[in-house]
Amino acid sequence: MSFNALGLAPELLRAVSEEGYEHPTPIQQETIPLALAGRDLVGSAQTGTGKTAAFLLPILQRLAAERRPHTLRALILVPTRELAEQVLQSSRAYGRHLSVTATAIYGGVGMEPQTRALSRGVDIVVATPGRLLDHMERGHLDYTQLEVLVLDEADRMLDMGFAPDVRRILAALPEERQTMLFSATISVEVDALARQALSGH
Ligand code: AMP
Protein backbone atom coordinates (compact mmCIF):
# COMPACT_ATOMS: atom_id res chain seq x y z
CA MET A 1 0.00 0.00 0.00
CA SER A 2 1.22 3.50 -0.77
CA PHE A 3 0.71 6.80 1.05
CA ASN A 4 -1.22 8.01 -2.02
CA ALA A 5 -4.08 5.65 -1.17
CA LEU A 6 -4.75 7.20 2.24
CA GLY A 7 -6.46 10.42 1.18
CA LEU A 8 -3.70 12.80 2.23
CA ALA A 9 -3.17 16.24 0.70
CA PRO A 10 -0.31 16.71 -1.82
CA GLU A 11 1.64 18.94 0.60
CA LEU A 12 1.65 16.15 3.17
CA LEU A 13 2.55 13.46 0.62
CA ARG A 14 5.49 15.60 -0.43
CA ALA A 15 6.70 16.04 3.15
CA VAL A 16 6.35 12.34 3.89
CA SER A 17 8.33 11.49 0.78
CA GLU A 18 11.02 14.03 1.75
CA GLU A 19 11.25 12.25 5.12
CA GLY A 20 12.14 9.15 3.10
CA TYR A 21 8.98 7.22 4.00
CA GLU A 22 7.95 4.88 1.18
CA HIS A 23 5.03 2.98 2.67
CA PRO A 24 2.70 3.71 5.57
CA THR A 25 3.27 1.51 8.61
CA PRO A 26 0.37 -0.73 9.78
CA ILE A 27 -0.79 1.79 12.43
CA GLN A 28 -0.70 4.54 9.79
CA GLN A 29 -2.70 2.41 7.33
CA GLU A 30 -5.34 1.75 9.96
CA THR A 31 -5.48 5.14 11.62
CA ILE A 32 -5.07 7.76 8.90
CA PRO A 33 -8.31 7.09 6.94
CA LEU A 34 -10.37 6.93 10.16
CA ALA A 35 -8.76 10.05 11.58
CA LEU A 36 -9.28 11.95 8.32
CA ALA A 37 -12.95 10.99 8.54
CA GLY A 38 -13.07 12.66 11.96
CA ARG A 39 -13.56 9.45 13.92
CA ASP A 40 -12.53 8.91 17.53
CA LEU A 41 -10.09 6.07 17.99
CA VAL A 42 -8.01 4.09 20.43
CA GLY A 43 -4.72 2.79 19.02
CA SER A 44 -2.56 0.16 20.62
CA ALA A 45 0.91 1.13 19.43
CA GLN A 46 4.43 1.05 20.79
CA THR A 47 6.98 3.80 20.16
CA GLY A 48 8.73 3.16 16.86
CA THR A 49 5.62 2.04 14.98
CA GLY A 50 5.01 5.39 13.30
CA LYS A 51 2.12 6.41 15.54
CA THR A 52 3.20 10.06 15.61
CA ALA A 53 2.63 10.48 11.87
CA ALA A 54 -0.58 8.44 12.21
CA PHE A 55 -2.16 11.22 14.27
CA LEU A 56 -0.19 14.26 13.06
CA LEU A 57 -0.84 13.88 9.33
CA PRO A 58 -4.65 13.90 9.71
CA ILE A 59 -4.47 16.80 12.19
CA LEU A 60 -2.31 18.86 9.83
CA GLN A 61 -4.64 18.10 6.94
CA ARG A 62 -7.70 19.12 8.93
CA LEU A 63 -6.18 22.40 10.13
CA ALA A 64 -4.75 23.31 6.71
CA ALA A 65 -8.04 22.57 4.91
CA GLU A 66 -9.73 25.44 6.73
CA ARG A 67 -7.24 28.00 8.00
CA ARG A 68 -8.11 29.91 11.15
CA PRO A 69 -4.81 31.53 12.11
CA HIS A 70 -3.88 32.11 15.75
CA THR A 71 -6.56 29.72 16.97
CA LEU A 72 -5.84 26.68 19.13
CA ARG A 73 -7.53 23.74 17.38
CA ALA A 74 -5.51 20.66 18.35
CA LEU A 75 -4.09 19.58 21.73
CA ILE A 76 -1.67 16.66 22.03
CA LEU A 77 -0.95 15.45 25.57
CA VAL A 78 2.29 13.50 26.11
CA PRO A 79 4.04 12.15 29.23
CA THR A 80 7.50 13.76 28.90
CA ARG A 81 9.22 16.87 27.66
CA GLU A 82 11.39 14.74 25.35
CA LEU A 83 8.32 13.34 23.67
CA ALA A 84 6.76 16.82 23.48
CA GLU A 85 9.85 18.07 21.63
CA GLN A 86 9.84 15.04 19.30
CA VAL A 87 6.17 15.48 18.43
CA LEU A 88 6.74 19.21 17.87
CA GLN A 89 9.67 18.52 15.53
CA SER A 90 7.62 15.91 13.66
CA SER A 91 4.73 18.35 13.23
CA ARG A 92 7.15 20.90 11.77
CA ALA A 93 8.65 18.27 9.44
CA TYR A 94 5.31 16.90 8.21
CA GLY A 95 3.81 20.40 8.05
CA ARG A 96 6.71 22.08 6.27
CA HIS A 97 4.65 22.79 3.14
CA LEU A 98 1.67 24.08 5.14
CA SER A 99 1.32 27.15 7.31
CA VAL A 100 0.11 25.37 10.46
CA THR A 101 1.85 26.51 13.66
CA ALA A 102 2.72 24.48 16.77
CA THR A 103 4.37 24.95 20.15
CA ALA A 104 5.47 22.68 22.99
CA ILE A 105 4.57 23.26 26.64
CA TYR A 106 6.42 21.33 29.36
CA GLY A 107 7.89 21.75 32.81
CA GLY A 108 11.48 22.26 33.93
CA VAL A 109 11.93 25.41 31.84
CA GLY A 110 10.68 28.98 32.25
CA MET A 111 6.99 29.76 31.81
CA GLU A 112 7.52 33.11 30.10
CA PRO A 113 8.55 32.03 26.57
CA GLN A 114 5.68 29.53 26.60
CA THR A 115 3.25 32.22 27.76
CA ARG A 116 4.36 34.46 24.89
CA ALA A 117 3.97 31.66 22.34
CA LEU A 118 0.46 30.91 23.61
CA SER A 119 -0.56 34.57 23.61
CA ARG A 120 0.57 34.97 19.98
CA GLY A 121 -1.86 32.19 19.09
CA VAL A 122 -0.95 28.76 17.77
CA ASP A 123 -2.82 25.97 15.94
CA ILE A 124 -1.35 22.96 17.76
CA VAL A 125 -0.19 22.68 21.38
CA VAL A 126 1.89 19.65 22.37
CA ALA A 127 2.01 19.52 26.17
CA THR A 128 2.80 17.58 29.31
CA PRO A 129 -0.21 17.69 31.65
CA GLY A 130 1.28 19.39 34.72
CA ARG A 131 2.73 22.45 33.00
CA LEU A 132 -0.33 22.76 30.78
CA LEU A 133 -2.49 23.03 33.92
CA ASP A 134 -0.18 25.74 35.29
CA HIS A 135 -0.87 27.76 32.15
CA MET A 136 -4.59 26.97 32.27
CA GLU A 137 -4.80 28.25 35.84
CA ARG A 138 -3.25 31.52 34.66
CA GLY A 139 -5.83 31.82 31.88
CA HIS A 140 -3.36 31.26 29.04
CA LEU A 141 -5.41 28.67 27.13
CA ASP A 142 -8.60 29.25 25.16
CA TYR A 143 -10.17 25.92 24.22
CA THR A 144 -13.37 27.27 22.68
CA GLN A 145 -12.21 26.40 19.12
CA LEU A 146 -10.52 23.10 20.03
CA GLU A 147 -11.36 20.35 17.52
CA VAL A 148 -8.92 17.52 18.19
CA LEU A 149 -7.43 15.95 21.33
CA VAL A 150 -4.68 13.31 21.27
CA LEU A 151 -3.60 11.37 24.35
CA ASP A 152 -0.23 9.93 23.34
CA GLU A 153 1.45 7.17 25.37
CA ALA A 154 -1.54 7.13 27.69
CA ASP A 155 -0.15 4.23 29.72
CA ARG A 156 3.03 6.18 30.50
CA MET A 157 1.01 9.26 31.46
CA LEU A 158 -0.92 7.14 33.97
CA ASP A 159 2.26 5.44 35.24
CA MET A 160 3.74 8.87 35.89
CA GLY A 161 0.75 9.88 38.01
CA PHE A 162 -0.83 12.27 35.53
CA ALA A 163 -4.35 10.79 35.78
CA PRO A 164 -5.79 13.62 37.95
CA ASP A 165 -4.19 16.29 35.74
CA VAL A 166 -5.46 14.65 32.55
CA ARG A 167 -8.97 14.43 34.00
CA ARG A 168 -8.92 18.11 34.91
CA ILE A 169 -7.78 19.00 31.40
CA LEU A 170 -10.51 16.81 29.86
CA ALA A 171 -13.10 18.64 31.94
CA ALA A 172 -12.01 21.98 30.44
CA LEU A 173 -12.27 20.90 26.78
CA PRO A 174 -15.29 21.22 24.49
CA GLU A 175 -17.30 17.99 24.48
CA GLU A 176 -17.70 18.08 20.74
CA ARG A 177 -14.27 17.17 19.43
CA GLN A 178 -12.30 14.33 17.86
CA THR A 179 -10.34 12.28 20.40
CA MET A 180 -7.52 9.85 19.65
CA LEU A 181 -5.79 7.82 22.34
CA PHE A 182 -2.59 5.83 21.82
CA SER A 183 -1.06 3.45 24.32
CA ALA A 184 1.50 0.65 24.17
CA THR A 185 -0.66 -1.39 26.52
CA ILE A 186 -4.40 -1.19 27.12
CA SER A 187 -4.67 -1.86 30.85
CA VAL A 188 -7.85 -1.53 32.91
CA GLU A 189 -6.72 2.01 33.83
CA VAL A 190 -6.04 3.01 30.22
CA ASP A 191 -9.40 1.57 29.23
CA ALA A 192 -11.12 3.65 31.92
CA LEU A 193 -9.34 6.79 30.72
CA ALA A 194 -10.28 6.00 27.11
CA ARG A 195 -13.93 5.61 28.09
CA GLN A 196 -13.85 8.96 29.84
CA ALA A 197 -11.94 10.77 27.09
CA LEU A 198 -14.03 9.36 24.23
CA SER A 199 -17.45 9.61 25.89
CA GLY A 200 -19.84 12.48 26.26
CA HIS A 201 -19.64 13.78 22.72
P1 AMP B 1 7.10 6.94 16.10
O2 AMP B 1 6.59 5.56 16.41
O3 AMP B 1 6.00 7.84 15.68
O4 AMP B 1 7.92 7.49 17.21
O5 AMP B 1 8.06 6.84 14.82
C6 AMP B 1 9.24 6.06 14.86
C7 AMP B 1 10.18 6.39 13.71
O8 AMP B 1 9.68 5.88 12.48
C9 AMP B 1 10.42 7.86 13.48
O10 AMP B 1 11.82 8.04 13.35
C11 AMP B 1 9.75 8.18 12.17
O12 AMP B 1 10.46 9.15 11.44
C13 AMP B 1 9.77 6.86 11.45
N14 AMP B 1 8.62 6.63 10.55
C15 AMP B 1 7.32 6.97 10.77
N16 AMP B 1 6.55 6.57 9.74
C17 AMP B 1 7.35 5.95 8.86
C18 AMP B 1 7.13 5.33 7.58
N19 AMP B 1 5.91 5.24 7.05
N20 AMP B 1 8.20 4.82 6.95
C21 AMP B 1 9.43 4.89 7.49
N22 AMP B 1 9.72 5.46 8.68
C23 AMP B 1 8.69 5.99 9.37
Confidence at residue 200, expressed as pLDDT on a 0 to 100 scale: 55
Sign of CA dihedral 157, 170, 181, 196: positive
| Closest protein CA for atom 19 of ligand 1 | 24
Least Cα distance to 169 among 38, 80, 77 occurs for: 77
The CA 28 to ligand 1 mean position distance, Å, reads 10
| Closest protein CA for atom 7 of ligand 1 | 48
Per-residue pLDDT of the chain (201 residues; tens, 9 = 90+): 899 999 999 999 999 999 999 999 999 999 999 999 999 999 999 889 999 999 999 999 999 999 998 999 999 999 999 999 999 999 999 999 999 999 999 999 999 999 999 999 999 999 999 999 999 999 999 999 999 999 999 999 999 999 999 999 999 999 999 999 999 999 999 999 999 999 754
| Closest protein CA for atom 22 of ligand 1 | 21
Residues with CB under 6 A from ligand 1: 21, 23-25, 28, 47-53
Confidence at residue 31, expressed as pLDDT on a 0 to 100 scale: 97
Least Cα distance to 109 among 88, 129, 137, 81 occurs for: 81
Claim: this prediction has a pTM higher than 0.95: yes
For 74-107, the pLDDT digits (tens) are 999 999 999 999 999 999 999 999 999 999 999 9
Confidence at residue 199, expressed as pLDDT on a 0 to 100 scale: 79
For residue 120, which amino acid is it?
R
